[in-house]
Amino acid sequence: MVAWDKERQRILGLTDAERKQAHNQDYRGREVWGHRGVAISIMSSLDACPYDGCLFDKLVAAIVPHTAEHLPAIMAYATSSEFKAEVRKLDKKLMVTNATLVKVPFDIQHWQKVAVDKYSDGLPTPYSSDPTQWLFNGHPKVQISRCRWLWRGLLGYEWPRQTGSGFPDCPAIGVDGLEVFADEDGIVPLSALRGEASAADRLNALLAASYGEEWSASKLRELLVATGSKANTLGEWLIDDFFDQHCDLFHQRPFVWQIWDGLKGGFNVLVNYHRLAAPGGGGKRTLEKLIYTDLGAWIDAQRQAQKAETEAQMPVWPQPSICAAKLEAILAGDPPFDLFIRWKPLHEQPSAGMPILAMGFA
């Protein structure tokens, strides 16, 4: 990424004196801006990828052909072991010069033939089936290695391409019809709560809509097995396995949290963290709803059930109230729950706080 001041046509914040001292380095490479070619890392391995005309730093060189029809041949050569070997014959330093990259011999007829076979469907376009990458399109049917449907369809998380961001050869994505399944507040109960269907029922409906005629009990079983889970139902997988798998996939930085009171069959919800920590008043309102509406309704329901049963038949469990008290402490910012939360104004933030990463209740 380059922080570029479009009005002043320079690196953002760069003064005239700083620019002069740096000999206008922020303009190096401008001859190829806006043109297609091959971008090459000039450090160590000399990795290459398509160049689409964007700005780049001094560790990258761009080779742009005078004639567009030569680009596939240049791409085939630049990504080959032969190219790297020829460059290293001329320059063995860790970082090679830009000029060295075009001093190597290039048999255009040979590499045009290679390109015809290698790029029979055209040059590769940006693509990723990995949900940790912003190119991912977020549709359930392309998610084959793990059960990832829940993030987009139920909790309302959207990948950048679903919010209007695009890239050359990788445009923004329009609505996919699954937004109707998303919860407005980003809070999805794992058991039916306040008239809301359980997460498992809602997820099953989403998958049925996504797969259409392909959806069946055997397809569900196939997808559950693909996660590595031993669960027999969506409900079991959501309660017992989803959160651990989600944390592993996103390198222990989950954006879906599981908030649980610690009781089997107890209060248990999944929350879209981005809604919970939204700046302004949105995050605070989401946390208040979680505490006073969702958890509050759960506690009231347990109290009503306890009134209908004898103490011997249904013991009073304090965990839901403990859970509510700790969430209220986070809302109020009482130590040791005075955490850094984006919706708090700066003067209310702890001096050395850390973002919430997990909430557990003993």
Banded pLDDT at 150 (limits 50, 70, 90) = low
Amino acid at 292: Y
Mean pLDDT of the chain: 83
Contact 341, 281 (CB under 8 A): no
Residues 230-249: what's their mean pLDDT? 89
pTM of the predicted structure, to 2 decimals: 0.69
Q: What is the pLDDT of residues 32-88, one digit of tens each?
A: 999 999 999 998 889 999 998 988 888 999 999 999 999 999 999 999 999 999 999
Q: What is the pLDDT of residue 144?
A: 35
Nearest-10 Cα torsion for 345, 351, 357, 360: -100
Among the listed residues 144, 270, 152, the one whose alpha carbon sits nearest the alpha carbon of residue 206: 152
User: Distance (Å, rounded) from C-alpha 323 to C-alpha 290?
Assistant: 11
pLDDT > 90? residue 100: yes
> Taking Cα atoms as reference points, which of 57, 49, 52, 51 lies closest to residue 29?
57
- Phi and psi at residue 200, in whole multiples of 5°? -65, -45
Query: Looking at residue 108, what is its pLDDT?
Result: 95
3-state DSSP of the chain? CCCEECCCCEECCCCHHHHHHCCCHHHCCHHHCCCCEEEEECECCCCEEEECCCCCCCCEEEECCCCHHHHHHHHHHHCCHHHHHHHHHHCCCCECCCHHHHCCCCCHHHHHHHHHHHCCCCCCCCCCCCCCCCCCCCCHHHCCCCCCHHHHHCCCCCCHHHHCCCECCECCCCCCCHHHHCCCCCEEECCCECCECCHHHHHHHHHHHHHHHHCCHHHHHHHHHHCCCCCCCHHHHHHHCHHHHHHHHCCCCCCEEEEECCCCCCCEEEEEHHHHCCCCCHHHHHHHHHHHHHHHHHHHHHHHHHHHCCCCCCCCCCHHHHHHHHHHHHHHCCCCCCCECCCCCHHHCCCCCCECCCCCCC
Residues 6+ apart with CB under 8 A from 213: none
- CA 4 to each of CA 12, 26, 196, 354: distance values in angstroms, whole numbers, following the listed order: 5, 9, 47, 30
The tens digit of pLDDT for each residue in 199-226 reads 899 888 888 888 889 999 999 898 888 8
